[in-house]
Structure 1
Amino acid sequence: MLTQLRIASLGVIDDAVLELGPGFTAVTGETGAGKTMVVSSLGLLLGEKAETRLIRHGASRALVEGRVGADAHMADAVEGLGGELDDGEVLLTRVLTASRSRALVGGAQVPLGALADVIGERVTIHGQSEQLRLGSPDRQREVLDAFAGAELAAVLAEYRTDYARHRALVAEREALVARSAERARELAMLEFGLTEIEKADPQSGEDVALHAEARRLQAVDDLRAAARSALVALAGDDDSGDHPTALGLVSTARKSLAGIADADADIAPLVDRIAEAGYALADVAADLSSYLAGLDADPARLEWIASRLAALQGLTRRYGSTVDDVLAWGRDAAARVDALRGGDERIAELADEIGHLDGALDERAGRLTALRTAAASTLKGLVEAELAALAMPKASLRFDLAPFERGPWGADHVQLLFSANPGSAPAPLARVASGGELSRVRLALEVVLAADSTGRTFVFDEVDAGVGGAVALEIGRRLARLAEHAQVIVVTHLAQVAAFADRHYVVEKADDGQVTTAGVREVTVTERVDELARMMAGLDGTDAARRHAEELLQAARRASRRPSR
């Protein structure tokens, strides 16, 4: 519930504060005084688009602040936005300047959409745009579903969950089917590559090893000559005669030092080290001898290696720069082939699941239709009774349900048919109802739905458009009934409506010849009688108008059984 509304430099209003509370609050004033700025300010608090022309002439900014009592859900939302509560209330702020618009919730700046997230479910503004909305089938379905209550809401929630799942599965299936030719081409390419690799049967590192072996076979003569030369230098051969060798020289050095080792203890370690060098050289000579023994030219082997490398190079040109890369590509390709072959299986799985969901959706859509049909029958009688009280005793109104393609809200096309007179066939509400009739239909619906409106705020602008007299009295009485369950704020030009209010604010304008300024003040007792007299007679202070206003207030108090203010 809104507890306070402050408006500063908005339109013609300079600075005004409305202290609000439960029940029925009326806002009145002369034409052009700025009454609609009250509705506009509430719209701004709901995140509606702002226009810089709303900033009062001569002001640098416009400000709207609203205090709202916060329940636990709203408190969590405010905390989530980084805002804070003030004594159980949240302060909503909208600031307009020539260059930007800002919104704050509990002192924290937030996106405009966050305002509606915080109080959009709690505050409803009924103006000309809402009357137009009431003419749309979507809005009419929303009204019918709201009246149908919790059972329909539960079935609808289940239906919408299944519907969203159904759409996702259908989209996945369509995507798989659309890509089937592409998958077939990719599968053929991958299978060809895997067959080629399997046929060649490459081994990890094989290309590196074969290149090394080929280089050795191609250089076998040079290798043999170098190895023999080294072996001769180390150990000699039959052809070297007395030519000194490394092993012989080392042996000579060891013997020379061994002969004097007894004369100097420092020589013994040197003898041992020379001996170790001789052993190492002897090992190298033995290895060289073995290397030479196995170093034979093998033209047939070299030819086979060239052929094998050519086969491997065919793979590396297509599937990777090395054999190891080719093997990695093969592993990835095999996994992809499994996935592609599973595409047809997935399509079949999706078809089964979609078929199952089709059955569930049809069943739930049927339940929605049944619940809506029952609710429509009850709602018709209740609303027509309200319309009769609003001077439309012959009006006929019904929710017509026709089968429709299954959608996110079921399989019903909901349309509100209306006839103001018995001789007229019911037709779509938006096409046949006048502005005044739309206002009364809207009010009748709100009164009937009021039982579910506890804690909500309804703002009515032009609810009394096109009516007067006894009808206006009934509108006031119905608004008072609605205010028993919800907070109701009404901008009106009819005294018959304002008389039923629990509190009454008047928007007054002043003109200094250059700038028009409006203020808002609460009126009670005598001042309220004067305002109602002005609204009825267009004159201030006439005795007849004041007597009529007093009688009107007394009649409203008797009808609503509320104390005077």
Structure 2
Amino acid sequence: MLEEVRITGLGVIDDALLELSPGFTALTGETGAGKTMVVTGLGLLFGGRADPSRVRPGEQRAAVEGRLRTEPSGKVARQVEEAGGELDEDGTLVLTRSVSAEGRSRAFAGGRSVPVSLLTYLADDLVAVHGQSDQQQLLKPGRQREALDKYAGAELAVVLGDYQRTFQRHRKVHEELMTLTSLARSRAAEAEALRAGLTEIEKLEPEAGEEAALRAEEERLANADALHAGATVAHEALLGDPTAAMDGADAITLLGQARRALEEVRRHDAEIDGVAGRLSDAAYLVSEVAAELASYIQSIDADPARLAVVQERRAALNRLVRVYGPGGVSPYLDLPPAGGQDPAEEPDEIAAVLDWARRAAVRVADLDTDDDKIGALTEEEAALAGEVTELAARLSGLRRAAGERFGADVTAELTALAMPHARVSVQINELDEPTMHGIDDVEIRLAAHQGAPALPLHKGASGGELSRVMLAIEVVFAGADPVPTFVFDEVDAGVGGKAAVEIGRRLAKLARLAQVIVVTHLPQVAAFADNHLVVAKSSDGSVTSSGVVRLDYDARVRELSRMLAGLEDSEFGQAHAAELLALAAEQAEQL
């Protein structure tokens, strides 16, 4: 709810402060005083188009600052806080909009500079401005549907909640099903490729560390002759060949001679005794080495068949590594180099292949469940689609019934607002496919006179008529689609007499549920106001400036007298004005 609005440098307004209050506020004044400019200022405050031609001559900029009260934990407060602004300590929100003479526009919310679009967004929940040149909230199809749903009452709200929950679940299941179905072929190809890899690996039954052992065995078998010859020569050098004539002493014989030579003298000197002991150890060590060489010579043997087996096994394992090992060419389950080992050690690529196989088995098990998932999701999707269709049909039925009641109620209101031949109806068309809000396209239509076709609101009424239609709709919607503040400009254009009184009564009725600000030239309307502001103008001979004054009872009588008779000091006019105020107060109490 707006508490006050300050307008500076806008059109004929030099500096004006609107002190607003709950209920019905009437804004009056002489022609050209700037009443409509006040509405322009309110539109500017809530994101309206910034027209630099509206800046007062001689001023650098026009500015509008509004102070309003909103729920600290509500939607508007959250939006302001998300933009970096904050409410004042007393819980009020300050909005500011300015436009320079060069056309630059700035907006502030809660003390923080914000995009102008935020003010427009906030306006949806703060104010509804109805005038010939203003954007009408109820002209938006989505707003009309929302308003009709609230007008319909609790039964539709329950069905709408059930529908939206079912719709969201259906959409989620449908998207999941479409994803699985569209990927079914590629996932089947993936499963087939993984199974082929697993079969290949299982057929070879590789073991971790096997490649290193095979490589060592291949090296030994490939060089068996050279190893046999080298070991034989070494063995003969150490121990000699008992089957051949010795051309010279072997190492064992020479060591024996040396050991025996020292045995005879070692007791005479401790130093030579130590040398003799080490020589004896050397003789034993050489004897052991000679025995090992003899055994090795017996074991080493060229085996071409075994060499071929080893080489074939290594080739098969290398094929696995190239495809399924680190950096392999398999398009699935790429693995990094095997970890968990000493970086100085050669990586065990077979271990990586076995790791691929373990992961592939898990992935295949997951892929194998796709058919079951698709079957289950298909059944669930079909069931949810049926529920969506059923609930959407129930929504449509409730909306159509509410639309008929709404059209009749608004038409009755228009009859009392000097539009006796106007007819309002709600057109509900079925959409091509369901949305989050159902299958209905809701549009309020107006036939302005007998024989006229029912057209959308913005096409079926003139500016003055549209304001009265909006008033009738707002009265009917009162309590169903409320915003904190309604602003009406020229709502009484082209009417007078009893119709003017009815407009005043309906504005007063609407003001029981929301703040209502009305620019009016009719005393019958202004008399119903709880708060009366007058736009006063003065002239210094060159520039007209306007301000806004809040009227007490006596001042209201004078202003209403001016509006009635054109003479605020007329006793007859003042008596008529006082009578009008009394009658309006009496009727307002009966609302």
Q: Secondary structure at the match of 1:70?
A: coil
Partner residue of 1:157? Answer: 161
Shift of 1:493: 4.1
Aligned to 1:94: 96
- Tell me if the contact between 2:524 and 2:580 (Cα under 8 Å) persists in the aligned partners: yes
- Indicate the residue corresponding to 2:178 in structure 1: 174
Q: Deviations over 1:515-534 (max 9, x none)?
A: 66543332334544454455
Counterpart in the other structure of 2:220: 216
Match in the other structure for 2:340: none
Indicate whether 1:65 and 2:66 are aligned. yes
- Structure 1 CA distance for aligned equivalents of residues 350 and 319 of structure 2: 10
Counterpart CA distance in 1 for 2:55 and 2:277 is 106
Shift of 1:478: 0.8
Residue identity opposite 1:520 in structure 2: V
Q: Say if 1:250 and 1:278, in contact at 8 Å, map to a contact too.
A: no
Q: Judge conservation of contact 2:403–2:426 (CA < 8 Å) in 1.
A: yes
Match of 2:516 among 488, 497, 502: 488
Q: Structure 1 residues 111, 130: closer, same or farther in 2, change over 3 A?
A: closer
Alignment of 1:23 with 2:23, yes or no, is yes
List per-residue Cα deviations over 1:20-75 (Å, max 9, x = no partner): 22111123345565444544554555556756666666336735232315355469
Which shifted more, 392-401 or 126-135?
126-135
Given that residues 418 and 427 in structure 1 are in contact (C-alpha distance below 8 angstroms), is that contact kept between their aligned partners in structure 2?
Answer: yes
Please state how far the C-alpha of 1:159 moved relative to its aligned partner. Answer: 0.9
Residue aligning to 1:294? 299
Question: What is the TM-score with the length of structure 1 in the denominator?
Answer: 0.80
CA distance in 2, matches of 1:294, 1:46: 100
Q: Quote the Cα distance in structure 2 between the aligned partners of 1:317 and 1:553.
A: 98
- Identify if the C-alpha distance between structure 1 residues 280 and 469 changes in structure 2 by more than 3 Å, giving closer, same or farther: farther
Q: Which runs of 5+ in 1 are unaligned?
A: none
Q: Does the aligned pair in 2 maintain the 1:67–1:89 contact within 8 Å?
A: no
Q: 2: CA distance between counterparts of 1:480 and 1:38?
A: 21
Partner SS, residue 92 of structure 2: strand
Residues 418, 433 of structure 1: 8 Å contact kept = yes
> How far, CA to CA, are the matches of 1:36 and 1:489 in structure 2?
12
Using the TM superposition, give the Cα deviation of residue 147 of structure 1 relative to its aligned residue in structure 2, in angstroms: 0.9
Give the AA of the match of 1:58.
Answer: E
Counterparts of 1:159-558 in structure 2 under 5 Å?
A: 159-228=163-232, 238=242, 241-244=248-251, 248=255, 252=259, 259=266, 288-320=293-325, 321=328, 322-401=349-428, 404=431, 405-421=433-449, 429-452=457-480, 456-508=484-536, 517-532=545-560, 535=563, 549-558=577-586
Residue 139 of structure 1 and its aligned partner are, at CA, apart by 3.5
Q: Is the 8 A contact 1:387 1:393 kept in 2?
A: yes
- Whole-angstrom distance in 1 between the partners of 2:60 and 2:253: 108
* Shift of residue 469, structure 1, vs aligned partner: 4.2
Is contact 1:75–1:85 with CA below 8 Å preserved after alignment?
no
Q: What SS does the corresponding residue of 1:496 show, helix, strand or coil?
A: helix
Query: Do structure 1's residue 141 and structure 2's residue 145 form an aligned pair?
Result: yes
Shift in Å at residue 272 of structure 1? 8.6
Once residues 370 and 142 of structure 2 are traced to their aligned partners in structure 1, the CA distance between those partners, rounded to angstroms, is 39
CA offsets per residue over residues 207-254 of structure 1, 9 Å max, x none? 443333323322333434455556566666656853446994999599
Asked whether the 8 Å contact 1:136–1:430 carries over to 2, the reply is no
Shift of 1:156: 0.9
Partner residue in 2 for 1:103: 108
1:256-290 CA-to-partner distances (Å, cap 9, x unmatched) read 899469858x997x999888888777766655554
Please tell me the residue identity of whatever aligns with 1:242. Answer: A
Instruction: Please give the alpha-carbon distance, in whole angstroms, between the structure 1 residues aligned to 2:281 and 2:574.
Output: 134
Report the Cα offset of residue 538 of structure 1.
6.7
- The answer (yes or no) to whether the contact 2:65–2:95 under 8 Å persists in 1 is yes
SS in 1 for 2:94: strand
Once the two structures are TM-superposed, the CA of residue 489 in structure 1 deviates from its matched residue by 1.6
Contact preservation (8 Å) 1:395, 1:418: yes
* Amino acid across the alignment from 1:295: I
| Deviation readout 1:499-520 (Å, 9 max, x if unpaired) | 3222222334566677665433
Output one character per residue of 1:96-141: Cα deviation in whole Å (capped at 9) or x when no partner.
Answer: 4666634332x45666666677774343333457776545554432
Please say if residues 455 and 485 of structure 1, whose CA atoms lie closer than 8 Å, have aligned partners that are also in contact.
Answer: no
**CA distance in structure 2 between the partners assigned to 1:453 and 1:407 by the alignment:** 21
Q: Structure 2: give runs of 5+ residues left out of the alignment.
A: 329-348
Could you say what secondary structure the match of 1:58 adopts? Answer: coil
Q: Is the 8 A contact 1:254 1:275 kept in 2?
A: no
User: What is the Cα deviation at residue 145 of structure 1?
Assistant: 0.9
Q: Residue 235 of structure 1 contacts residue 248 of structure 1 at CA under 8 Å; is this kept in 2?
A: no
Paired AA for residue 125 in structure 1? V
Alpha carbons of 1:221 and 1:83: their partners in 2 closer, same or farther (altered >3 Å)?
same
Please state whether the residue corresponding to 1:451 is helix, strand or coil.
Answer: coil
Partner amino acid, structure 2, of 1:64: E
Residue identity matched to 1:296: D
In structure 1, C-alpha distance between the alignment counterparts of 2:230 and 2:44, rounded to whole Å? 96
The equivalent of 2:6 in structure 1 is: 6
Query: With structure 2 as the length reference, what TM-score do the two structures score?
Result: 0.77
Report how far residue 418 of structure 1 moved: 3.8
Instruction: Report if the CA contact (8 A) 2:181-2:374 is conserved.
Output: yes
Alignment check: 8 A CA contact 2:69 2:92 kept: yes
Contact 2:131 2:467 in 1 (8 A): no
User: What's the counterpart of residue 335 of structure 2?
Assistant: none
Partner SS state of residue 170, structure 2: helix
339-348 or 141-150: which moved more?
Answer: 339-348
Counterpart AA for 1:505: L
| CA drift at 1:419 | 3.7
Please give the alpha-carbon distance, in whole angstroms, between the structure 2 residues aligned to 1:510 and 1:292: 128
Measure how far apart 1:297 and its partner are: 1.8
Counterpart CA distance in 2 for 1:17 and 1:443 is 26
Q: 1:242 to 1:66 in 2, by over 3 A?
A: same
Higher mean alpha-carbon deviation, 66-75 vs 351-360, is at: 66-75
Deviation (angstroms), 1:353 = 1.1
Going from structure 1 to structure 2, the CA distance change for 1:422 and 1:47 (only over 3 Å counts) comes to: closer
Q: Residues 34 and 254 from structure 1, CA distance in 2 versus in 1: closer, same or farther, beyond 3 angstroms?
A: farther
Count of matched residue positions in the alignment of Structure 1 and Structure 2: 559
1: distance between equivalents of 2:283 and 2:99? 99
Question: Which whole-Å CA distance do the structure 2 matches of 1:284 and 1:147 have between them?
Answer: 107
SS in 1 for 2:67: strand
Distance in 2 between residues matched to 1:460 and 1:251, nearest whole Å: 130
Q: Is the 8 A contact 1:4 1:68 kept in 2?
A: no
Contact 2:25 2:516 in 1 (8 A): yes
Offset, 1:152: 1.7
Range with greater deviation from structure 2 (63-72 or 113-122): 113-122
Cα distance in 1 for residues equivalent to 2:135 and 2:556? 30
